[in-house]
């Protein structure tokens, strides 16, 4: 006997949707037996702008390091943060 699926609600924003799926079982809303594998080649992660105060000397050193790698300094900061987080979290 086939289970009747619930209707997925409309969400006001991504945070509301994230909270919904965190607290609900997706199998009540989606027939995963009919799911298909897809690739989203141009999908970019959601980003949030933050303000970060750095000493001028550190910012200048970051800009020099970024220039040597031919990348924007903000991209270099993200690369450094990702590498460090990956290292920290593998020991958790």
Q: Are residues 66 and 76 in contact, defined by beta-carbon separation less than 8 angstroms?
A: yes
Q: Residue 76 corresponds to which tokens in the numbers above?
A: 């270099």
Q: What is the pLDDT of residue 46?
A: 84
Q: What is the pLDDT of residue 92?
A: 58
Q: What is the pLDDT of residue 45?
A: 82
Q: What is the pLDDT of residue 90?
A: 85
Q: How far is CA 55 from the centre of its chain?
A: 28
Burial 4-34, CB ≥16 within 10 A → b, else e: eeeeeeeeeeeeeeeeeeeeeeeeeeeeeee
Give 10-residue mean pLDDT values along the chain (92 residues): 87 94 95 89 87 97 97 96 92 64
What φ, ψ does residue 80 adopt, rounded to 5°?
A: -60, -45
Task: Provide the whole-model pTM.
Answer: 0.53
H/E stretch holding 11: none
Q: What is the pLDDT of residue 1?
A: 59
Name the one residue in this structure whose structure tokens are 């920290």: 88
């Amino acid at each position: 006997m086939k289970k009747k699926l619930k209707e997925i609600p409309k969400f006001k924003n991504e945070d509301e949707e994230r909270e919904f799926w965190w607290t609900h079982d997706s199998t009540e809303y989606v027939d995963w037996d009919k799911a298909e594998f897809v690739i989203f080649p141009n999908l970019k992660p959601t980003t949030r702008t933050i303000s970060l105060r750095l000493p001028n000397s550190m910012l200048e050193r970051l800009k020099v390091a970024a220039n040597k790698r031919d990348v924007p300094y903000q991209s270099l900061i993200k690369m450094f943060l990702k590498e460090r987080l990956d290292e920290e979290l593998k020991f958790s």
